[in-house]
Amino acid sequence: MPRLLESLPAMPAPPYLTKANLRFAGHVAIILLLLGGFVFHASRNLPQHAIDHDGNHYLCMAYNLVHHGIISTQRTLTPHPWLDAWRSPGYPAFLALGVAVVPGLDLPLPSFLSDDLLPLKKWQLGWLLLAAILAGVFVWRTTGSPWPGYLSFAVVAYSPALIYFINRFYSEAGAALIILFLSLALYRALKRPSLCAFALAGLLLGLGALTRAALMYCWLPLMIYFALLAWRSRLPRGRLLAGMAVFTLAFAVPVGAWMARNHYHYGRWMLTYRSGLVLEIRSNYAVMTPKEYLAAFIYYTPWVYLNPLVQESATPGNQRWDPPKHQKLWGADLYQATLGRFLTMDDFNHLREWNRGDSFEMRGQHNWTRNINWLGHYTVGDTYSQKAAIRKILANPWGHLLASIPLAWRGLFADTWWVALPGFVCLFYLAVSSLRRRDWPLLAFVLPSIYMYGFHSLITANYARFNSPLVPILAVCLGLCAHRLARRWTRRREAKEPAHA
């Protein structure tokens, strides 16, 4: 009987079961699993009513823009709200577009602010999905492999920080989209230089400046970079110079229009009248004592086994009503065994955000409020605070620079630490690697993110959420570096295998 079966002809495989078709079906299954996981993750975390002070401001601005055509944070039903420049208009305009497009949001202002606004959250969620797809496709096309693209997609789509900002209507959600689109446009502008690509990059930078004011100053390092490329690289010089002009014009139109509006109404060329508050807070960190300097590294590390006040230092997206407390690791208290031997809890007081009235943050806010009340107007008081803070920084520049180190460490925890820390390592590695390899488009891709991180470390208190808009860029960097590591490991393994005759 076995011989009879062996004599039968082999059954041919169905024509559709080829390796190419099986590989394609596998990728389709992976993509569907990633999309299904994204929907499940969003459905579990999105419907949470957690709108606070910042979110209320942005929602008021969006509502007033849709119903009155005015940028204002005024919470009133009057037909003519007053103008203000309390916050940047980019993210409220993005929300206003969602209010105008998405049905079910035509509510009176009190109901609009008290409602969960789930349709508006889904509007932002769709843009987050687009950003995740763009990040994954960019890595896929750059590396030639889909696997690092899947990694980048997952990091963006499943980011607890970005879901957290969408839930609370924070501008970091809009800034994350703008920075990713800007970086992709810069990459395209130098990969295949064209005036349209430079114009798109300049327009995105202008919209980014209207979303996060720090991006306004990114124009200068980008122009220096373009000028150096026109001088020393092999890229077409004439097209680069023309691109620089178009880039500047596209950037200046939206930013100049908003600043001209503020100058007309308030007599000051500005994006918002809160720069003095930022500098007031930042200037106080220059007077940290040596013990406070060491305590800052502990306080800004959101690790339950090391930070005795970890409930105050949760990373964006991990904040809870009952945050995790300090714990022992295998029965040992790492804090008490290390820096806790000579640090006391009093050394953390000036670092804590809301604990004491004499903390660095509260001291800056009190000074800023006092100047506004004294001088009688936001713009005048903010200008005075800004000048006073600059004088304080210039009086102790080395202390200011030294304080930037723990604040830079603070900003690294922009998302869960196992994503953010490797992501920043990959970001800086790709910057150095692209410079060494003369990969100018890739260097342009990472340049805005490096600028944002450095700017916040030097100029602001660098809260972790300030760097959360960089999560899509960190995801791309993780995918690119993972592909390089895999390729290097494969080459080493092939080199160790004995050659066959």
Residues 318-358: tens digit of each pLDDT: 765 556 777 777 877 788 888 888 888 888 888 887 656 67
**Is residue 450 very low, low, confident or very high in pLDDT (cuts 50, 70, 90)?**
very high
Q: Helix or strand or coil: residue 457? A: helix
**Domain annotation covers residue 407:** no
Count other C-beta atoms under 10 Å from residue 389's C-beta: 23
Same-domain check for residues 191 and 225: yes
Measure the CA–CA gap between 468 and 452, rounded to whole angstroms.
Answer: 11
CA-wise closest residue to 445 among 214, 184, 209, 235: 184
**Domain annotation covers residue 467:** yes
**Last residue of one domain, picked from the residues 66, 98, 115:** 115
CA-wise closest residue to 451 among 472, 475, 427, 429: 427
**Last residue of one domain, picked from the residues 65, 81, 115:** 115
Same-domain check for residues 198 and 88: no
Which residues share a beta bridge with 329? 332
Asked if residues 446 and 473 have their Cβ atoms less than 8 Å apart, the reply is yes
Same-domain check for residues 162 and 97: no
pTM more than 0.75? yes
CA-wise closest residue to 161 among 405, 418, 408: 418
Asked if residues 414 and 314 have their Cβ atoms less than 8 Å apart, the reply is no
Mean pLDDT of 454-465: 93
CA-wise closest residue to 51 among 62, 35, 40, 64: 62
**Last residue of one domain, picked from the residues 86, 115, 144:** 115
Measure the CA–CA gap between 189 and 223, rounded to whole angstroms.
Answer: 13
Q: Report whether pLDDT(314) > 80.
A: no
Q: For position 224, what pLDDT does the model report?
A: 96
Count other C-beta atoms under 10 Å from residue 237's C-beta: 12
Measure the CA–CA gap between 173 and 167, rounded to whole angstroms.
Answer: 9
**Domain annotation covers residue 96:** yes
Same-domain check for residues 205 and 94: no
Measure the CA–CA gap between 201 and 189, rounded to whole angstroms.
Answer: 8
Mean pLDDT of 371-381: 82
Q: For position 501, what pLDDT does the model report?
A: 45
Same-domain check for residues 223 and 151: yes
**Domain annotation covers residue 179:** yes
Same-domain check for residues 92 and 122: no
| Sequence-ordered alpha helix ranges (H) in 272-396 | 275-283, 290-299, 334-337, 360-375, 378-395
Asked if residues 88 and 62 have their Cβ atoms less than 8 Å apart, the reply is no
CA-wise closest residue to 38 among 163, 172, 175: 163
Same-domain check for residues 145 and 206: yes
**Of 96 and 497, the one with more pLDDT:** 96
Give tens-digit pLDDT for 185-231: 999 999 999 999 999 999 999 999 999 999 999 999 999 999 999 99
Give tens-digit pLDDT for 70-92: 888 888 777 778 888 888 999 99
Residues 6+ apart with CB under 8 A from 35: none
As given in the structure block, the two tokens for residue 237 are 């010089």
Mean pLDDT of 279-292: 92
* Residue numbers of the domain that contains 95: 51-115
**Domain annotation covers residue 57:** yes
Share of the chain above pLDDT 70, in %: 93
**Is residue 146 very low, low, confident or very high in pLDDT (cuts 50, 70, 90)?**
very high
Same-domain check for residues 256 and 128: yes
Same-domain check for residues 155 and 108: no
SS (H, E, C) 251-270: HHHHHHHHHHHHHHHHCCCC
Q: For position 373, what pLDDT does the model report?
A: 85
Terminal C-alpha separation, the chain = 42
| Sequence-ordered alpha helix ranges (H) in 158-311 | 160-168, 172-191, 195-209, 219-232, 237-266, 275-283, 290-299
Q: Report whether pLDDT(137) > 80.
A: yes
**Domain annotation covers residue 460:** yes
The answer to which of 106-110, 296-300, 375-379 has the lowest mean pLDDT is 375-379
Q: For position 214, what pLDDT does the model report?
A: 93
**Of 125 and 494, the one with more pLDDT:** 125
**Is residue 451 very low, low, confident or very high in pLDDT (cuts 50, 70, 90)?**
very high
Mean pLDDT of 153-178: 93
CA-wise closest residue to 182 among 90, 98, 262: 90
Asked if residues 240 and 192 have their Cβ atoms less than 8 Å apart, the reply is no
Helix axes 160-168, 19-45, angle to 10 degrees: 40
The answer to which of 17-26, 178-187, 198-207, 298-307 has the lowest mean pLDDT is 17-26
Mean pLDDT of 356-372: 84
**282, amino acid identity:** R
Q: For position 195, what pLDDT does the model report?
A: 94
Measure the CA–CA gap between 298 and 289, rounded to whole angstroms.
Answer: 15
Share of the chain above pLDDT 90, in %: 55
**Is residue 248 very low, low, confident or very high in pLDDT (cuts 50, 70, 90)?**
very high
Q: Kind and range of the H or E element at 44?
A: helix 19-45
**171, amino acid identity:** S
Q: For position 226, what pLDDT does the model report?
A: 95
Residues 6+ apart with CB under 8 A from 346: none
Same-domain check for residues 168 and 261: yes
Give tens-digit pLDDT for 218-247: 999 999 999 999 998 888 889 999 999 999
**Domain annotation covers residue 316:** no
Residues 6+ apart with CB under 8 A from 354: 361, 362
Q: Among all chains, which residue has been given the structure tokens 């031997």?
A: 341
Which residues share a beta bridge with 332? 329
Q: Domain count of the chain?
A: 2
The answer to which of 79-88, 158-167, 394-403 has the lowest mean pLDDT is 79-88
Asked if residues 335 and 341 have their Cβ atoms less than 8 Å apart, the reply is no
**Domain annotation covers residue 28:** no
Q: For position 272, what pLDDT does the model report?
A: 84
Q: In this structure, what DSSP letter does residue 314 have?
A: P
Q: For position 379, what pLDDT does the model report?
A: 80
Q: For position 191, what pLDDT does the model report?
A: 93
Same-domain check for residues 110 and 175: no
CA angle (477 as vertex; 474, 481 as ends), nearest 5: 140
Q: How many residues does the chain have?
A: 501
CA-wise closest residue to 156 among 199, 198, 182, 127: 127
Same-domain check for residues 196 and 68: no
What is the distance of C-alpha 431 from the center of its chain?
18
As given in the structure block, the two tokens for residue 52 are 């606070």
Q: Among all chains, which residue has been given the structure tokens 């395209």?
A: 188
Average predicted confidence (pLDDT) for the chain: 88
